[in-house]
Amino acid sequence: DTGWTFYAPLSTQYSNSQVFLATLAAFFAGFSSILTGVNFIATVHKMRAPGLTWFRLPLFVWAQYATGLIMMLGTPVIAITVFLIFFERVTGIGIFDPAMGGDPVLFQHMFWFYSHPAVYIMILPGFGVISEVIACFSKNRIFGYEFIAFSSLSIAILGFFVWGHHMYVTGQSFYTGVVFSFLTFMVAVPSAIKVFNWTATFWGGNVTFEAPMLYAMGFMGLFLVGGLTGLFLAAMGMDVPLHDTYFVVAHFHYVMVGGMVMAFMSGVHFWWPKMTGRMYPESCGKISAGLIFFGFNATFFPQFILGWLGMPRRYHSYPPEWAALNVMSTAGATLLGFGFTFAIGYFVWSLFWGRKAPANPWGAKGLEWEECTSPPHPHNFHEIPIVTEEAYAYTGKETMDV
């Protein structure tokens, strides 16, 4: 009946049962998201260790707190939206279907009010991971701690005011478009603050280039491209001709795969010794970081060019003059897939044959690294820790055992 967006009237006018099941599944899954957000927020407010004040919190926790706010405030809107689709199909009362007196644009407003902040649900935890990794492998205090912390909250708040940039071509007024364009430019500022402060953290640090750091640096480069191309799409004059082309596909993947997935890989490599008690082969980690970085660029950068040339997305065929760039993109995807497969392979290998991990192989700061065993005690700590210093009290003299 419809795509992943459930756009009306496609999602409301057909009689088969697939949309019924999909909307009900999304509705009930929404409760999981809401309760998880409440859990994050309640934990940060009520269950901090003694001495762990707000400005001693790791930046990963600040990012999770901002994520929890979005999950708690935004998910009810999408839950109501998909329930209304279900209700319209069951009762025949027009809500979104214009043939029954409904308004399909209303659906788009409700859908994108949640679905743009949903991008930040995925990327904000990645920002937190990158803050941890860069501080650790620079052996330096994080530059502008308060700015990074509050930029996470700023993204969570501003993200609820920019949904209209997905709807420039739906017939909204010029002045409405100008407001949404301005707000979309504004939401880029907190992300830029993060990238600037991460870069400044390198200055004067004792920087080393283990696999988690390589993934983090790859994240910074790819996310920067994704963010800058997002400014193209924030401008109405650029977005209208580029809307629904492969330029949007490339931008989205530079933010979500180049951003979120690279941060995920960085975090998995960083905490793998602590989670499993085993070290992965460091040389393999560096090789996989290179394969994924170059494979990703070979896959998605040609799509910027294809979108600029006008190739639409969601079409199963394309003119022959675009074949070379599409073949290049496919070859890059093959390399990208091999990089991920290689990473899965050596992680599985390390579970059985990797050398035992020391308690703190990276010389990292943070409560989890103070626990004397890897993996940690089933309840994390033998006794409740007391926090006496800031989160990133690096001196540059910490040693690693890798």
Q: Domains of the chain (ranges plus CATH)? A: 1-208 (1.20.210.10), 210-276+280-354 (no CATH)
| E strand or H helix that includes residue 96 | none
Cβ neighbourhood burial of 328 (10 Å; 0-12, 13-18, 19+): middle
Tokens of residue 121, six digits = 């649900």
Q: Would the pLDDT of 340 be above 70? A: yes
Nearest to 130 by CA among 248, 28, 267, 317: 267
Q: Would the pLDDT of 1 be above 80? A: no
Read off the pLDDT of residues 346-355 as tens digits, 9 standing for 90 and up.
Answer: 999 999 999 9
| Cβ-contact 334, 266 below 8 angstroms | no
Tokens of residue 335, six digits = 């390399």
Instruction: Provide, rounded to the nearest whole percent, the portion of the chain with pLDDT above 70.
Output: 98
- Cα dist. 19→5, 110, 250 in Å? 11, 18, 28
What's the average model confidence in pLDDT over 16-27? 84
Please give the DSSP secondary-structure letter assigned to residue 36: H
**What is the CA 205 to chain-centroid distance, rounded?**
27
pLDDT band at 224, cuts 50/70/90? very high
Q: What is the pLDDT of residue 402?
A: 65
| Residue 315 Rama label (left phi>0; alpha psi -120 to 50; beta) | beta
Please report where in the chains the tokens 């998605």 appear, as a residue: 300
Please give the DSSP secondary-structure letter assigned to residue 380: B
Count the neighbouring beta carbons within 10 Å of the beta carbon of residue 121: 23
What's the average model confidence in pLDDT over 85-92? 88
Q: How far apart are CA 356 and CA 379, in angstroms?
A: 21
Q: What is the dihedral of CA 200, 204, 206, 208, to 10 degrees?
A: 40
pLDDT band at 4, cuts 50/70/90? confident
Read off the pLDDT of residues 133-149 as tens digits, 9 standing for 90 and up.
Answer: 999 999 999 999 999 99
Read off the pLDDT of residues 27-49 as tens digits, 9 standing for 90 and up.
Answer: 999 999 999 999 999 999 999 99
Q: What is the pLDDT of residue 343?
A: 98
* Cis ω for the linkage preceding 375 (within 30 of 0): yes
Read off the pLDDT of residues 230-250 as tens digits, 9 standing for 90 and up.
Answer: 999 999 999 999 999 999 999
Q: Would the pLDDT of 73 be above 60? A: yes
* 289-315 CB burial, b ≥16 within 10 A, e <16: bebbbebbbbbbbbbbbbbeeebebee
Q: How far apart are CA 238 and CA 142, in angstroms?
A: 36
Q: What is the pLDDT of residue 401?
A: 67
> In this predicted model, which residue has the larger pLDDT, 325 or 22?
325
* Interacting residues of 389 by C-beta distance below 8 A, sequence separation 6+: 56
* 218-236 CB burial, b ≥16 within 10 A, e <16: bbbebbbbbbebbebbbbb
Count the neighbouring beta carbons within 10 Å of the beta carbon of residue 390: 16
| Cβ-contact 311, 304 below 8 angstroms | no
Q: What is the pLDDT of residue 341?
A: 98
Nearest to 362 by CA among 265, 289, 273: 273
Question: What's the whole-model pTM score?
Answer: 0.94
Q: How far apart are CA 6 and CA 3, in angstroms?
A: 6
* Cis ω for the linkage preceding 358 (within 30 of 0): no
Cα first-last separation, the chain = 53
Read off the pLDDT of residues 278-290 as tens digits, 9 standing for 90 and up.
Answer: 999 999 999 999 9
Q: How far apart are CA 272 and CA 72, in angstroms?
A: 29
Q: What's the mean pLDDT when you consider all of the chain?
A: 93
pLDDT band at 24, cuts 50/70/90? confident
Q: CB-hemisphere CA count at 13 Å for 261?
A: 17
> In this predicted model, which residue has the larger pLDDT, 300 or 316?
300
